[in-house]
Structure 1
């Protein structure tokens, strides 16, 4: 299928699909005409990419973990034992970011409350 069809099936823009290709997340076949040709399996691959992005992973990390994920029917799971270490590291990074954002929000609330109306 061509990029427009993949975009329609995944609700992801062609521009974003090209970006995923640049990042090594998608590997379409290039036809002699230069057109990209995607496989049916790429629909599921894009869905996995979107799930991992929603989980807070960047595309570099996704490129590493994507081959080691499986769909359990209830979501993605790690298929490679070593992957859990990477996922825990990413979870810790996200937890730290949440803590820092909460602190920033508290400081901002203090400034807002101290400001005369």
Structure 2
């Protein structure tokens, strides 16, 4: 199938498919006229890449997990669980940082409100 149909089937843009290819995450056959031809295996691989990106992995990180992208790696793959646990720990650290920042903003808003309430109104 050609790129347009593949992108539609995956729910991504053709540009994203080209990006996966440019990053070395996927290798696509070409027809005699130069059009990209996606096999069912290519679609499964691209779907896995899309899913990893959606969970916060960079293309560099995904490339290091290439064994998890092929049909042979469709099940548990070497290092995959470890990489996913590391990503989860990273997300949890980011979440804790965001929670702390949110609380600091809420505290500051409360201080400002109390300051405004304490000031007498001038007429």
What's the TM-score once normalised by structure 1's chain length? Answer: 0.78
Q: Kindly indicate whether residue 85 of structure 2 is the aligned counterpart of residue 88 of structure 1.
A: yes
Higher helix share: 2
Number of residue-to-residue matches in the alignment: 112
* Gapped regions of structure 2 (runs ≥ 5): 117-123
* Gapped regions of structure 1 (runs ≥ 5): none
Native 8 Å contact 1:48 1:66 kept in 2 = no
Q: Kindly indicate whether residue 77 of structure 2 is the aligned counterpart of residue 79 of structure 1.
A: yes
Higher strand share: 1
Please give the per-residue CA displacement for 1:1-55, whole angstroms capped at 9, x wherever unaligned: 1110101111111111111111222211134433212112222222212221222
Looking at CA atoms only, which structure, 1 or 2, has the larger radius of gyration?
2
- Deviant stretches of 4+, over 4 Å: none
What's the TM-score once normalised by structure 2's chain length? Answer: 0.75
